[in-house]
A and B are shown apart, each in its own frame.
Chain A
């Protein structure tokens, strides 16, 4: 829940940025289609993930509980994604009612991950009409340096891929949740890995800049966010702001984004696999086999 205080970019910054763009230069020295460094780290718990994209930092945590399913979908689990923008990330985000930016970003994340059916919800069903797993992804913004959406989508996806829920058994009447010591936790089934890739658009589509920083984001006329997976399948597209863009430019940018999406998904998969292997060989798990 946050309310964004209106901030004003000084004319000096605007002029300087636009002047540099006309010389085909960006302020941090990146090329126009270059992204900032991506780093993925995992916490001690399953489903805890820290992602930094340049100086933008995001923390995601997945949690689960058993719940009554929705009446309309009695055999499907529930997945909810919640992005929180708080004062820690940017002093201009104020605690209070939900801001436009917050609900927009939340909806885009939902569109990208939930609506594209990336997570297999049927496997989250324990007993039809009675008990399903409800999985909740909480994404917290720790530092805001532009492009929250990309960072948050990577964090949410990596956390979901890393997450394992405890095993459940049913003896006809009662459900029993087994602790990690009793039975191995079960990973979430993920069909495909969709990530958001964002671009900022200047001068009516003349300059299109990948992975915009905070300043670029605020000066830009429009922005384009594309949700894509590694198979070049579109999982969401959002064009905000005001710019007259031809369809060719959008197609071209989306093509570029699909290349990037492939790289990002590779990085996520490698990071999740590495951490999972590390966790299995860590002493906690070793002890469990000895003492039980």
Chain B
């Protein structure tokens, strides 16, 4: 496992020099942009902690709550409006995203899935442009739904910070696995900070919520350390 290193706090507009990446390639993640004046340095576009993962990946980890849609993101949203074949879905960004009822697996003009206002949807962002409404789909490129689609009403929706979603979605992070040893649960994490959880007992859901709340303030290392103790 390659651990990421924290390189300190940066404010938007600050220039980051001393980029140490192998083979002259640098992969930049959220919150960073190439410096046009000096091609060998980067500029921060968000406030947060600069993080580096060997050999050549840089990104900024900030504690923002507001989601900005990006093409290909997997998100969880609430259906707020249904008009004809089009659903308006609140995914936590400035505008409601739209989702066609025909963008579900096996749906045709005559056979449409049963989706109601207030339902939760796990979908993929097909299109995210700053001057257009984001567009969602519930199928992949082979017209299969995979895990996308309408989520059952038995679970619960919670909001977490965007940074925590990245931490949880990291396959190497042991938090979800450690919790799974205590009790069984189902979880869907949208990168927009909305998380759907379903467990047998309400108590278990609340335990998970508390664990996430605690993890929000902790660094990756201390989460791993805490999980190790609970094994």
Contact = CB atoms under 8 A, between A and B. Distances in A.
B202 A20 contact: yes
A11 B206 CA distance: 18
A15 B206 contact: no
B220 to A, nearest CB: 24
B202 A12 contact: no
A27 B206 CA distance: 7
Interface string B189-228: 0000000100000100110010000000000000000000
A12 B196 contact: yes
Interface stretch (A1-9, A120-128, A246-254, A264-272): A1-9
Interface in B154-176: 154-157
A16 B156 contact: yes
B202 A7 contact: no
A6 B88 CA distance: 12
A269 to B, nearest CB: 33
Contacts, number: 48
B120 interface: yes
B156 A7 contact: no
Given A12-B154, A12-B157, A91-B66, A19 B202 contact: yes
B16 interface: no
Contacts of A25: 202
A6 B157 contact: no
Contacts of A14: 118
B115 to A, nearest CB: 11
Contacts of B128: none
A19 B78 CA distance: 20
Contact of B156 (A8, A13, A23): A13
Given A9-B118, A12-B151, A23 B157 contact: no
Contacts of B78: 8-10
B90 A11 contact: no
Most central of A6, A9, A27, A29 by chain B CB within 10 Å: A27
Interface of chain B, helix or strand or loop or mixed? mixed
Interface residues of A, number: 18
Given A20-B202, A23-B202, A29-B206, A12 B80 contact: no
Contacts of A19: 202
What range describes how many residues of B lie at the interface?
20 to 34
B153 A6 contact: no
B157 A10 contact: yes
Contact of B117 (A8, A16, A23): A8
Given A6-B80, A91-B66, A11 B202 contact: no
Nearest to A19: B202
A74 to B, nearest CB: 50
Contacts of B205: 16
B119 interface: yes
B80 A11 contact: no
A20 B152 CA distance: 18
Contacts of B118: 8-11, 14
B204 to A, nearest CB: 12
Contacts of B79: 8
Contact of B202 (A6, A9, A10, A16): A16
Contact of A7 (B66, B90, B116): B90
Given A16-B202, A23-B202, A7 B155 contact: no
Contacts of A12: 120, 151-157, 196
A10 B206 contact: no
Contacts of B155: 12, 16
B114 to A, nearest CB: 13
A29 B152 CA distance: 25
B153 A11 contact: yes
Interface string B89-105: 01000100000000000
Interface string B103-147: 000000000000011111000000000000000000000000000
A16 B158 CA distance: 11
Residue of A7, A16, A25, A91 with most chain B CB atoms under a 10 A cut-off? A16
B193 to A, nearest CB: 12
The 5 closest A-B pairs by CB, nearest first: A16-B156, A11-B118, A8-B80, A10-B78, A11-B153
23 contacts: A8-B79, A8-B90, A8-B117, A8-B118, A9-B78, A9-B118, A10-B118, A11-B119, A11-B153, A12-B152, A12-B154, A12-B156, A12-B157, A13-B156, A14-B118, A15-B154, A16-B202, A23-B202, A25-B202, A27-B206, A27-B209, A91-B66, A91-B94
